[in-house]
Chains A and B, each alone.
Chain A
Amino acid sequence: MSHEPLLDGMVGTKRDRTEPLLRAGNTNCGGCGMSVILQLLGRAAADHPLQLVIPACCGIVTAGPFPCSAYGAPVMAATFASAAAAATGLSWVAQLNDEKTRVCCFAGDGGTFDIGFATLSATAERNEDVLYICYDNEIYGNTGGQRSSATPLGASTTTTPTGKTVRKKDVLGIIAAHGVPYVATISLAHPEDAMRKLRYALNARGFRFLHVLAPCPTGWKSEPGDGIELVRLAVRSGLYPVYEVFDGDRAVVNVQSAQDDEALSRYFSLQGRFRRSQVDISSVRAEISRTWRRIAAWT
């Protein structure tokens, strides 16, 4: 059977959220991957009470100027490094008061891989009842596209004009190593799998971490309409493994990747950020193989 209708036809039905989590009139760029994951998150959460904690990043600019809010849920804007810690406080208030509120950090790669990393690690170590979603556009998008430790090997940014020469930080592996109940990568090109993981992560207790490759047409210098296809290619090429890890020791690969070179070249060719790269495709392939060997050892 073909995959239709998507998400079992829930959109617009009673099972859907009454009000979107990301409202129209937001200032995100057209085709923003972060917007897409917010739409999915809203659907997964349906009408369960949700509180978002968003650090300084594109995601908080999205909210719009005071007193507006482009988010259809309560949002606490945290300082750049503080999302996980602020969420810890909110989460405990909910627990102390027997409230069903799910507290969810929504942070970019800068706030997750870099400046917020210590806080994230500590929150994971304490196994706080927090869902942490990292929308990873692989750059500091809000400041105009500088490299972060999530920037992949070979990508040009404003601070690595000839392409990044070192590999991307494996943040998922690091968080999984904390032994938290659940970590997973989410592919926007696999909405059913994404929805299942979002729902699972929203319902689970303890610290849950979801990593979302979020296409950024502005930073990736790609067509705004190509975002989902880029994620698909990233999955197919093996660049972005779609998997989940339970309790830090049981890994499951959710989407088998052909790891094919054609998908990899197409992934590169659709994005301006790899055009000036001096990193050749074989070293990227070697990096991909290394990642998959590590995952294989885990499963």
Chain B
Amino acid sequence: MEVRLHGRGGQGGVTCAKILAATWSHLGMSVQAFGDYSGERSGAPVRAYLRVDSSPVVNRNKVYAPDHVLVLDHALCDAAAVLGLRPGGTLIVNTMEDPGALAERFPGYRTATVDATGIAREHGIGSRSVVIVNTTIAGAFARIMGLPFEALEAAFTAMHVERDLPAARAAWDAVRVHEAQGAPRAAPASAAAAPILDLVDHVVGAAPALRTGAWRSTRPVYQTRPAPCSTACPAGNDVVGFTRALATDGPEAASEILARTSPFASVCGRVCAGYCGHACNREAMDEAVNTRGIERWIGDHATIARADQPQTGRRAAVIGAGPAGISAAYQLARAGWRVDLLDAADRPGGLLRSGIPPWRLPREVLDREVDAVLAMGVHWQGGRRVGPAELPALAGEYDAVILATGQSKVMDLDVPGRELNGIEQGLEFLHDANLGLATQISGHVVVIGGGNTAMDCARSALRRGAAQVTVVYRRTRAEMPAIPEEVEEAEEEGVQFRFLRAPLGVYGSDLVGGVELAVMESNPNGGAPTMSEGRDWIACDSVILAIGQRADPATLLPEGWTIRHGQVHALETPLPVFATGDLATGEGTVAHAIGDGARIALQARAWFDECKPAGPRPKGVVRHSEMRFSYFDAIPRLPARKRPAAERVAHSTEVDLGIEDGREADRCMSCGHCTHCDTCLVYCPEGIILRAGDGYGVDLSQCKGCGVCARECPRASIQMVAE
């Protein structure tokens, strides 16, 4: 019996022949196994031969008329593979293909198939790119030849490959056979060989005709993958997009990208917690890119150009002109809707205006961006408080109504002494302070709470005359929900902190005299702290409560109306009324509000079949471990410039002056986004990556699938996928 094996260098075809020889030898047969030796390398087609006989094998020629053919790589299963195969002989192939399908291509032979590559890969035999299938397919072949598995076991042991027996066993179990039908096709006539040139002939050497693409088991695929900054942005900004655009094309191009998702670059670049920067992969290398600073710089330096959109004829009313409402109005206006923006206040902005102090968000900055939205045809109707009585009419009047009234109900403190004079709600304090109403405060002010409102209150109190300000928070500093930068700034300005303290009561007679605090114990598991026996007191002159707020849909929705997944239902009937921002989500940040406003605009438009609703967050975010930091020089982060503490407190001027210029954008590594850096082009060992269109193309007829391009891509935008 003669067998011919077709494999590739590195797959172990010759060893496979030797293992099979050892198997038959164990059964007392005379055997012979050998390979073709040539100049070709890992991946190149290689043949091996096996002879088995009950009498001594004497023929030492290669096998030209095999009884069986074993193909280790399905790409090699062609007419050449079956050349000379005796009618009725077995053709066994490593493939996922069905043996019946194989039989159709190769009639007249008994066909057998097994996915040896899959099995070998599962058993971890070989490397990622070069899976070694010889031992696996040997199991299938032994089964087809009717050999006992014990003989195979003996051969594996003799050849020191017993570790691969489970894979051989799996292939033994998995192999499928299709009996021979019909007659084999005639072999194609071989072309007459070209005459061989003399060495003294001057021949210009042509490139070898070898198609090395057939060696490959994985191939490179260029893909744009989500960058962590962009996926982290609650507003849905294409952070990597605008940052790169600033670096390569300047602020206008960057602004154009920002404008797709947000009307509030200058605002958000000042008041956002900077989720993008916290997610930045560069943090693992030197320091995160100051993407918030970049956003602000773009917002402050680009002109706001809003192209007129073709009108759809649809009209919407947006109730509530905070960030969520304006974001929704903005997106609808961009989509060609006519939008009326209704709010109880006399200027749009919501908490941006009433809750955030001007020294964090100068009013001219806010007005510039708000006015730009109004300039798009968003019709401002200030002083309009909408309640349950008005809403049904509005819902009938407009194609859609967007509710964005935020969290209107502030949390209160239920402790003895709450009724004393000198206790004030933080948001009210800020409202008055921000709008320039009389809010002089003096003496020692205690602010209760750990969020941004608490920080704003504490710092506003300093600016409004307080001699001393102490923030009391029931957890640790690290657990404060406030933006750490704001906490640091507060500290610089002289605000004091007492952590792990919860108010038990306020003492004093008529006027506040001080607060009694319980000493809290941190919960090591991260849960709520527990109250200890310890007590603490702070003598003070006033108390500001900044312990949170919540939505209060009852002040807005008629009886029987509920919000489900952002849409308002009257009992079971969905209405063209949508809720967004803090009213719906309670996330409580400007960025979340902008993102949710845009999302709800999309949802409203989807209700009218204008578009699809927003999809889920993209998967496959580039992790820092996938980045090639070695391609990037360490450059210090460009920090925001700050006014000195004393100056900013004294004059209530803007604290943060932003970054000096836009060159911080050059630090962006463009995670998952090809920048045409040519690394793949330069490193392709075959030189078969070419410029194509806006990116690169790979000549797959030659690509050997080595994976250097993917491994070296500085920004993980090439992936190797199995063939």
Q: Verify A30–B39 contact, CB threshold 8 A.
A: no
Q: Verify A4–B678 contact, CB threshold 8 A.
A: yes
Q: Looking across the interface, which residue of chain A has its beta carbon closest to that of B707?
A: A225
**At the interface, yes or no: A228 with Cβ under 8 Å from chain B?**
yes
Scoring B residues 577 to 593 as 1 if CB is less than 8 Å from chain A, else 0, what string do you get?
A: 00000000000000000
Task: Give, as a whole number of angstroms, the nearest-CB distance from A216 to chain B.
Answer: 10
Quick one: which of B39, B208, B630, B708 contacts A225, CB cutoff 8 A?
A: B708
Task: Give, as a whole number of angstroms, the nearest-CB distance from B461 to chain A.
Answer: 45
Q: Looking across the interface, which residue of chain A has its beta carbon closest to that of B702?
A: A24
Q: Verify A24–B207 contact, CB threshold 8 A.
A: yes
Q: Verify B712–A4 contact, CB threshold 8 A.
A: no
Q: Verify B720–A225 contact, CB threshold 8 A.
A: yes
Scoring A residues 48 to 60 as 1 if CB is less than 8 Å from chain B, else 0, what string do you get?
A: 0000000000000
Q: Verify B129–A25 contact, CB threshold 8 A.
A: no
**At the interface, yes or no: B608 with Cβ under 8 Å from chain A?**
no
**At the interface, yes or no: A166 with Cβ under 8 Å from chain B?**
no
**At the interface, yes or no: A36 with Cβ under 8 Å from chain B?**
yes
Interface centre among B633, B678, B684, B691 (most CB of A within 10 A): B678
Chain A residues with CB under 8 Å of B199's CB are 66
Q: Verify A225–B129 contact, CB threshold 8 A.
A: yes
Q: Verify B712–A229 contact, CB threshold 8 A.
A: yes
Segment of A68-76, A92-100, A289-297 engaged in the interface with chain B? A68-76
Q: Verify B712–A228 contact, CB threshold 8 A.
A: yes
Q: Verify A25–B685 contact, CB threshold 8 A.
A: no
**At the interface, yes or no: B127 with Cβ under 8 Å from chain A?**
yes
Q: Verify A3–B41 contact, CB threshold 8 A.
A: no
Q: Looking across the interface, which residue of chain A has its beta carbon closest to that of B40?
A: A27
User: Chain A contact residues (Cβ within 8 angstroms of B): what range?
Assistant: 35 or more
* A36, B685: Cα distance in complex, Å: 5
Chain B residues with CB under 8 Å of A68's CB are 205-209
Task: Give, as a whole number of angstroms, the nearest-CB distance from A24 to chain B.
Answer: 4
Q: Looking across the interface, which residue of chain A has its beta carbon closest to that of B9?
A: A29
Q: Verify A217–B42 contact, CB threshold 8 A.
A: yes
Q: Verify B207–A228 contact, CB threshold 8 A.
A: no
Quick one: which of B210, B675, B679, B704 contacts A30, CB cutoff 8 A?
A: B704
Q: Verify B714–A2 contact, CB threshold 8 A.
A: yes
Scoring A residues 227 to 268 as 1 if CB is less than 8 Å from chain B, else 0, what string do you get?
A: 111001000000000000000000000000000000000000
Chain B residues with CB under 8 Å of A23's CB are 207-208, 687
Quick one: which of B43, B197, B206, B691 contacts A69, CB cutoff 8 A?
A: B206
Quick one: which of A6, A24, A189, A226 contacts B677, CB cutoff 8 A?
A: A6
Q: Looking across the interface, which residue of chain B has its beta carbon closest to that of A22?
A: B687
Task: Give, as a whole number of angstroms, the nearest-CB distance from A20 to chain B.
Answer: 4
Given A27-B39, A27-B44, A28-B41; A4-B205 close (CB under 8 Å): no
**At the interface, yes or no: A1 with Cβ under 8 Å from chain B?**
yes
Q: Looking across the interface, which residue of chain B has its beta carbon closest to that of A60?
A: B39
Interface residues of B in 184-220 (CB under 8 A from A): 197, 199, 203, 205-212, 215-216
Quick one: which of A1, A35, A65, A229 contacts B685, CB cutoff 8 A?
A: A35
Scoring B residues 680 to 713 as 1 if CB is less than 8 Å from chain A, else 0, what string do you get?
A: 0111111110110000000100101111101110
Q: Verify A223–B129 contact, CB threshold 8 A.
A: yes
**At the interface, yes or no: A61 with Cβ under 8 Å from chain B?**
yes
Q: Looking across the interface, which residue of chain B has its beta carbon closest to that of A72?
A: B207
* A28, B683: Cα distance in complex, Å: 15
Chain A residues with CB under 8 Å of B42's CB are 29-30, 217-218, 224
Q: Verify B706–A31 contact, CB threshold 8 A.
A: yes
Q: Looking across the interface, which residue of chain A has its beta carbon closest to that of B630?
A: A232
Segment of A7-15, A155-163, A169-177 engaged in the interface with chain B? A7-15
**At the interface, yes or no: B88 with Cβ under 8 Å from chain A?**
no
Task: Give, as a whole number of angstroms, the nearest-CB distance from B463 to chain A.
Answer: 42
* A64, B666: Cα distance in complex, Å: 45
* A43, B684: Cα distance in complex, Å: 13
Q: Verify A24–B688 contact, CB threshold 8 A.
A: yes
Q: Verify A70–B686 contact, CB threshold 8 A.
A: no
* A67, B200: Cα distance in complex, Å: 11
**At the interface, yes or no: A26 with Cβ under 8 Å from chain B?**
yes
Task: Give, as a whole number of angstroms, the nearest-CB distance from B15 to chain A.
Answer: 13
* A211, B682: Cα distance in complex, Å: 19
Given A25-B210, A30-B705, A226-B711; A4-B41 close (CB under 8 Å): no
Task: Give, as a whole number of angstroms, the nearest-CB distance from A114 to chain B.
Answer: 21
Q: Verify A26–B208 contact, CB threshold 8 A.
A: yes
Chain A residues with CB under 8 Å of B631's CB are 2-4
Scoring B residues 505 to 527 as 1 if CB is less than 8 Å from chain A, else 0, what string do you get?
A: 00000000000000000000000
Q: Verify A39–B685 contact, CB threshold 8 A.
A: yes
Given A64-B210, A68-B209, A218-B10; A24-B714 close (CB under 8 Å): no
Chain B residues with CB under 8 Å of A69's CB are 205-208
Chain A residues with CB under 8 Å of B649's CB are none
Q: Verify B197–A67 contact, CB threshold 8 A.
A: yes
Task: Give, as a whole number of angstroms, the nearest-CB distance from B247 to chain A.
Answer: 10
Chain A residues with CB under 8 Å of B679's CB are 4, 6
**At the interface, yes or no: B138 with Cβ under 8 Å from chain A?**
no
Q: Verify B707–A11 contact, CB threshold 8 A.
A: no
Q: Looking across the interface, which residue of chain A has its beta carbon closest to that of B201?
A: A67
Interface centre among B130, B197, B706, B712 (most CB of A within 10 A): B706
* A64, B9: Cα distance in complex, Å: 16
Task: Give, as a whole number of angstroms, the nearest-CB distance from A166 to chain B.
Answer: 28
**At the interface, yes or no: A191 with Cβ under 8 Å from chain B?**
yes
Q: Verify A6–B678 contact, CB threshold 8 A.
A: yes
Q: Verify B678–A31 contact, CB threshold 8 A.
A: no
Given A12-B690, A26-B208; A2-B633 close (CB under 8 Å): yes
**At the interface, yes or no: A32 with Cβ under 8 Å from chain B?**
yes
Q: Verify A65–B687 contact, CB threshold 8 A.
A: no
Scoring B residues 618 to 636 as 1 if CB is less than 8 Å from chain A, else 0, what string do you get?
A: 0000000000001111010
Q: Looking across the interface, which residue of chain B has its beta carbon closest to that of A221?
A: B127
Given A218-B42, A223-B129; A25-B207 close (CB under 8 Å): yes
Given A2-B714, A3-B632, A35-B686; A64-B704 close (CB under 8 Å): no
**At the interface, yes or no: B105 with Cβ under 8 Å from chain A?**
no
Q: Verify A12–B632 contact, CB threshold 8 A.
A: no
Q: List 16 A-B contacts (CB under 8 A).
A: A1-B666, A4-B679, A7-B682, A11-B681, A11-B682, A12-B691, A25-B211, A27-B212, A30-B704, A31-B708, A36-B683, A39-B685, A66-B199, A67-B203, A70-B208, A218-B42
A residues with a Cβ closer than 8 A to B are 1-7, 9, 11-12, 20, 22-33, 35-36, 39-40, 42-43, 61, 63-72, 189, 191, 217-218, 222-229, 232
